[in-house]
């Protein structure tokens, strides 16, 4: 992990890694700390465990539930509690936290049931609220969130490295503030990766291919439909061989019984309607973690022919959007993007390309 090489930690450390990037972050820490990593507890999403992690001794891996917490999340919370309580009070703890931790690990506040927690998460995911508002509410149901993990770790010396998928890289929002409560003393923290890194890497690749690149530096947020139209109109205003890169996270309010898909698939299909019939135009919307909503697809790649291909399959794009069933439409068009777990999580990317003249 470059950050630990740039600003080394001295002495021996125990590692607590939580989130969808927990496995890869632990590998990076192990490569730098080597024998100074005394032990590690890794709690991540099922299927997000790097094979190399199995070769490391003194590492305990727990695979848990995401995006809706279940009994595995509570078991992971108990494991985390017991692991920390067993650590010597004068030891050093390195916390590696990434997105997804809110669902993956939990210990409930007194009087709160798992069913209530699941109902809250289901409603929150449907609501279209941004992650900051959701995580602020989550912390009230938990003994770990809202600084609860920091209180559990005290008085042990603790340092945190974050892979951020939240606005302003706010540590009180990431993982619902496991180590940071608003207005309370904070654990020393460094952000080692965010949406800016993914955006810059995509822009660099596009420049190497000869495109005129517009790297939009403001993190996008807000309603997915509004954003899709904004992105496509930016694309249409530019000359040929142009390439746009946006990073951030949209919101999508879901109906009572949503179909298949996620916010990136919804954004891509909305953009496809705007691009319909136009040549040499394409747009990709995808999650950097390889997951879009509750689906196992990362997102979708659409162009000026996507809507026509859907019509050939007897599908109606607007009806699919209204039913939050964009994934079924995009699958029929061959537009879905499936990467599998990427072992990182820095939000979403939208890439839009104009390779030539439109017609």
Q: How confident is the model at residue 70 (pLDDT cuts 50, 70, 90)?
A: very high
CB 187 within 8 A of CB 159: yes
Report how far residue 188's alpha carbon sits from residue 162's, in angstroms, rounded to the nearest whole number: 11
Compute how many other C-beta atoms are within 10 angstroms of the C-beta atom of residue 14. 22
Contact 92, 338 (CB under 8 A): no
Give the pLDDT band of residue 1 (cuts 50, 70, 90): low
Q: What does the pLDDT read at residue 358? A: 42
- Interatomic CA distance for residues 85 and 167, integer angstroms: 32
Q: Supply the pLDDT for residue 178.
A: 96
At residue 356 the predicted structure's pLDDT band, cuts being 50, 70 and 90, is: low
Question: What torsion, rounded to 10 degrees, do the Cα atoms 254, 258, 262, 263 define?
Answer: -20
C-alpha 332 chain-centroid distance: 26
Query: What average pLDDT does this structure show over 68-85?
Result: 97
Task: Write the pLDDT tens digit of every residue in 321-343.
Answer: 999 999 999 999 999 999 999 99
For residues 58-64, average pLDDT: 97
pLDDT digits (tens, 9 = 90+) for 118-174: 999 888 888 877 777 787 788 889 999 999 999 999 999 999 999 999 999 999 999
**Domains identified in the chain and CATH numbers:** 2-193 (3.40.50.10180), 196-354 (3.40.1480.10)
Q: What pLDDT was estimated at residue 146?
A: 92
Average pLDDT over all residues of the chain:
94
Model confidence at 359, pLDDT cuts 50, 70, 90, reads: very low
Q: Poorest-confidence range of 61-70, 184-193, 268-277?
A: 184-193
**Residue 315 contacts residue 307 (beta carbons within 8 Å):** no
- Express each pLDDT in 281-319 by its tens digit: 999 999 999 999 888 999 999 999 999 999 999 999 999
Among 178-182, 188-192, 209-213, the range of highest mean pLDDT: 188-192
pLDDT tens digits, residue range 205-250?
999 999 999 999 999 999 999 999 999 999 988 777 899 999 999 9
d(CA 61, CA 93): 17
Residue 106 CA to its chain's centroid (Å): 18
Between CA 296 and CA 293 the distance in angstroms is 8
Quick: pLDDT tens for 77-104. 999 999 999 999 999 999 999 999 999 9
Higher local confidence (pLDDT), 131 or 47: 47
Q: What pLDDT is recorded for position 182?
A: 74
Return the pLDDT at 122.
Answer: 87
Q: Which structure tokens are listed for 217?
A: 């530096």
Neighbour count for residue 57 (Cβ, 10 Å): 7
Phi, psi of 162 (to 5 degrees): -120, 135
What is the pLDDT at residue 129?
Answer: 76
Query: Which has the closest alpha carbon to 47: 337, 295, 341, 304?
Result: 341
The yes-or-no verdict on residue 357 having pLDDT over 60 is: no
Closest CA to 338 of 302, 298, 306, 303: 298
pLDDT greater than 60 at residue 261: yes
* Helix, strand, coil percentages, rounded to 5, for the chain: 40, 25, 35
């Amino acid at each position: 992990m470059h950050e630990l090489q740039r600003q080394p930690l001295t002495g021996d450390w125990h590692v607590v890694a939580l989130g969808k990037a927990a496995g890869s972050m632990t590998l990076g820490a192990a490569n730098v700390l080597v024998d100074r990593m005394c032990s590690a507890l890794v709690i991540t999403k099922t299927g997000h465990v790097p094979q190399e992690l199995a070769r490391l001794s003194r590492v305990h891996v727990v695979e848990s539930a995401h995006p809706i917490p279940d009994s595995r999340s509570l078991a992971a919370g108990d494991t985390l509690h017991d692991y920390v309580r067993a650590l010597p009070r004068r030891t050093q703890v390195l916390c590696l936290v990434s997105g997804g931790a809110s669902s993956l690990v939990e210990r409930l506040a007194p009087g709160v049931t798992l069913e209530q927690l699941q109902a809250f998460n289901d409603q929150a995911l449907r609501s279209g609220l941004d992650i900051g508002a959701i995580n602020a509410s989550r912390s009230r149901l938990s003994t770990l969130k809202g600084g609860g993990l920091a209180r559990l770790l005290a008085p042990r010396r603790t340092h945190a490295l974050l892979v951020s998928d939240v606005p302003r890289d706010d540590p009180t929002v990431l993982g619902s503030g496991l180590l940071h409560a608003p207005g309370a003393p904070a654990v020393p923290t460094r952000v080692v990766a965010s949406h800016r890194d993914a955006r810059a890497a995509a822009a660099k690749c596009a420049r190497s291919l000869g495109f005129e690149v517009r790297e939009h530096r403001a993190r996008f947020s807000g309603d997915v439909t509004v954003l899709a139209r904004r992105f496509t109109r930016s694309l249409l205003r530019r000359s040929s061989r142009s390439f746009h890169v946006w990073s951030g996270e949209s919101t999508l309010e879901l109906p009572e019984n949503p179909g298949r898909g996620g916010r990136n698939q919804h954004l891509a299909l909305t953009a496809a309607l705007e691009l319909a019939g136009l040549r040499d135009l394409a747009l990709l919307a995808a999650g950097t973690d390889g997951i879009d909503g509750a689906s196992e697809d990362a997102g979708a790649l659409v162009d000026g022919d996507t809507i026509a291909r859907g019509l050939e399959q007897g599908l109606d794009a607007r009806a699919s959007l209204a039913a939050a069933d964009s994934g079924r439409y995009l699958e029929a068009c061959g537009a879905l993007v499936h990467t599998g777990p990427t072992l990182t999580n820095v939000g979403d990317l939208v890439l839009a390309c104009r390779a030539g003249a439109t017609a």
